[in-house]
Amino acid sequence: MLGMKLVRLIEAHSEALSRGLMEQIRKSERTSDFRKIPPTDLRLAAAEVYRNLEEWLLQKTERDIANRFRAIGARRLAEGIGLHQAVWALMLTRDYLLRFLRREAFADNIVELHGELELQQMLNQFFDRAVYYVILGYDEAQQPCVPKSDLRRIQELAVSIGLMPEPTPPTKTLQD
């Protein structure tokens, strides 16, 4: 990968990047739910991605990304973070990183420029997958929480439009 110099630059500045991102997330009205989370926890979450960016981009599998970000989605739901705010936080994370690269990276030749573009494409793909799996994590975490009354209404609707047979009442046994 041609953009490895930039990846190492990001990893070397991971602490400063994660502090700046944490401040941006906590100040934004679009991510106000994140104020419920201790600043240190937010900073550590961002630092994990920034510090291990090479690993996330080149070594982690689709399954690794899915597992990590589905778990993040479920955790954010449990913390009371709105889905739209969790997605916006991921977008802020990506944009903050891209702004850093624009400030710090100056391509001196066509090969370096190609490396920057390659890295930008890989980052966009990574964050697209992160958004997808966070949303999936929210959906999966919400499914078991469907109230019984909703399940009954869904079942009644399914019966009324012919998708399910009418449930049979339980039969009494001799012991009843």
Q: Name the more confident of 151 and 125.
A: 125
pLDDT at 30: 96
Per-residue pLDDT tens over the stretch 51-96: 888 888 888 889 999 999 999 999 999 999 999 999 999 999 999 9
- If DSSP codes are grouped into helix, strand and coil, which group holds residue 14? helix
Domains and CATH numbers, the chain: 4-160 (1.10.490.10)
What is the token pair recorded at 123?
């980052």
Can you give the pLDDT at residue 109?
56
Classify the C-alpha dihedral 109-112-114-116 as positive or negative: negative
Please report where in the chains the tokens 């009324």 appear, as a residue. 160
75-84, 105-114, 122-131, 158-167: range with lowest mean pLDDT: 105-114
Q: Are 105 and 12 in contact (CB under 8 A)?
A: no
Cα–Cα nearest to 115, from 124, 129, 105, 128: 105
94-98 contacts: CB < 8 A, separation 24 or more? 94/123, 94/124, 94/127, 96/17, 96/20, 96/21, 96/24, 97/10, 97/17, 97/50, 97/123, 98/123
The pLDDT assigned to 135 comes to 94
